[in-house]
Amino acid sequence: MSCDANLRMIRTMVCALIPSMLIAGCLATDPEPTPPSYDGPSFRVVRVSKPASAAQQIAVHACAGLYNRQSGGSIFVQTDTDVTQSRIDGALTRDEVWLESMGLTPSATIAADDFLNECQATFPSCVRYSYGAQQEILPAILTAAAALGAVPVAEETGLKCDSPALDATAVFADRATPLLATEYVYAHYLTDTTGLAMLNPGYDRHAEDLANPDLIEDMPVALIDFVFARRLFVTFLVNGCIEGNPERDLLTKIVEESPWKEPIGVYGYNDSWLIGGYVYEAQTDCLDTGNMGAIPSRTTNLSFFATRRAEITSAAELPAIEPERVRYDPEKTYVAFVVGDGDNIRYIMSTRRDWLAERLERCQDARPKCPALTWTISPHLPEIAPDVLVWYADAARSTGADYFALPPSGYLYAYPSMLNDENEALFAAETERTARILGTHSVIHWEWFEAWADSRAHYLPRYAHAGNQIRGIFPVNVPYIAEPFPDWPSEQMYEMLTGADGGQAALFRTRSWRGVDGRDDFHATPAEMAATLADLPKGTVTWVYMTSDGGLTLENSYFELLPLLPEHMQLVSTDTAAELAIAASAN
């Protein structure tokens, strides 16, 4: 769909409040919402085509980061679809779609080879390495190059690096393991970096021996441009979270001695130790320090989006999404459906955008008007992709029925109760701050299954205070098959948390929907889910968390479910569900 067509579609949508609609929650909105302005600096597109090697692509993205560090939003990298790229979690980034959606037109397009020649003239400092011989320690090499502001030049590319700022082929000749290479960059460059990233250099994620995986693919280029724009410390110590391993001792020293803001947000992704799921993906359970959480962000061109404009610091800078006005009726059943995985910026840039575009098409001229739907959205978009956030907010505003919630577990993808006490308080405060920017009062909260009792007693009450931004807490257990609150009676859907000053927040029972093949309750068919919800007593307020890891899509779940719901059921946002629960508990 072209940008003009997309904007015409958005302009034609108006969602009027119809009190008699039992599954609506739409407020009247401006029938011709003003599209956001994407005026910004001129930029060029670098086109990567065959036969670009992995080493050449790394250099291109590093250069893009250096240019965008120097001149914000000046370089965008577009990779042709026939260029071999590593696939991560089945999601391919399609950043060029965003240029069209935002009406962004480059001032010029330049071929990768020409761009690299120009880059080396602009940034003459370089780091020499061998991709073939040193792929396993590429995270350390990238750390040094980013800290030095130097182009990483692999011998295999044929690019010149006659006077390197660092000759990695020599310096790491006797430091050829991830442990030794990381020790070196820790000793020499830690204080020159601004944050932490974990990027897999190409290890087999399904290895028989998870402690000693083989390299089986090229290093993905995702996030490398951002590493160079932000001067991030890159590591991927497979055993960095394994107690008693020297890699864990080193990682502990890195995070304890770093100058980085706490709790530390870890960019990229830790996809080591796949046992049912990635055991350490949330980062919080990795080290005894209890000061880390993940920012899942394996995507390209973040340096472009992060530097085009200033970050968003207030909800006033976003298109306003009007709140629902629903009065609690004990003869109705209220359900909030939530699109999950919005913590993952890769999904935000690809599949979740597709889902929302599909939603916009369905809502156009729909009779009856669209029912409410809540989208989890990364709290880091205001800083690292503000234009993307504006697009989401404008799309949500246009329907009058789409809303935001913070993804697990608010400020970072983390287990908050595993943080140390100081970082727990900081985490809760940052969660409320980012919720204010996004204009939401809801957070999806997850914990490792052993921590719920502690979380319920000590962490979650932090949100129950006068003037609280977080009013609804929607839990997801890890692993999801276990019930976080087994002591609750089966009919109990929420409990009220009340603070010392009388502030309240509603804590809900979990309900996950991951697929539709009917194999179990988490993969219920739409008919089965509709029947389960229909059996709830009238007056119930509940929610359903939808994720795509079991094959669920909006098309095969939510859209098929809608016509099967009984008339007394009303779909609401998570914010409204929280307020209804608070109102119901007062009766």
Q: Which two tokens stand for residue 430?
A: 């940052």
Residue in this structure with the two tokens 């007693």, named with its chain if needed: 457
Query: pLDDT value at position 38?
Result: 46
What Rg do the C-alpha atoms of the chain give, in angstroms? Answer: 24
In 282-417, DSSP assigns E strands to 292-296, 333-339, 373-376, 402-405
Residue 19 in this model has a pLDDT that exceeds 80: no
| 371 touches 571 (CB < 8 A) | yes
Name the residue ranges covered by the structural domains of the chain: 44-306, 335-586
Backbone angles phi, psi at 173, to 5 degrees: -60, -40
Closest CA to 388 of 34, 3, 28, 36: 36
Average pLDDT for 163-177: 98
- Cis before 386 (ω within 30): no
Could you tell me the pTM of the whole model?
Answer: 0.90
Query: pLDDT value at position 39?
Result: 57
Q: What is the pLDDT of residues 242-301, one digit of tens each?
A: 999 999 999 999 999 999 999 999 999 999 999 988 999 999 999 999 899 999 999 999
Q: What is the rounded CA–CA span in Å between residue 569 and residue 571?
A: 7
Q: What is the rounded CA–CA span in Å between residue 295 and residue 16?
A: 37
Task: For residue 69, count other CB atoms closer than 10 A to its CB.
Answer: 21
Residue in this structure with the two tokens 């009792």, named with its chain if needed: 453
Q: What is the pLDDT of residues 394-450, one digit of tens each?
A: 999 999 899 999 999 999 999 999 998 899 999 999 999 999 999 999 999 999 989
Alpha helix segments (H runs only) across 3-95: 3-11, 54-70
Q: What is the pLDDT of residues 119-156, one digit of tens each?
A: 999 999 999 999 999 999 999 999 999 999 999 999 99
Residue 532 in this model has a pLDDT that exceeds 80: yes
Q: Pairing mode, if any, of strands 472-478 and 75-79? A: unpaired
Residues β-bridged to residue 447: 477
Q: Give residue 230's pLDDT band: very low, low, confident or very high (50, 70, 90).
A: very high
Average pLDDT for 322-342: 95
Residues counted in the chain: 587
Residue 72 in this model has a pLDDT that exceeds 90: yes
> Residue 387 belongs to what H/E stretch?
helix 386-399
Q: CATH fold of 335-586, please? A: TIM Barrel (3.20.20)
With the CA atoms of 483, 486, 492 and 496 taken in that order, what torsion angle do they form, in degrees rounded to the nearest 10? -90
Q: What is the pLDDT of residues 346-376, one digit of tens each?
A: 999 999 999 999 999 998 877 788 999 999 9
Percent over 90 (pLDDT), the chain:
82
**Average pLDDT along the chain:** 90
Percent over 70 (pLDDT), the chain:
91
First to last CA, the chain: 49
Query: pLDDT value at position 322?
Result: 86
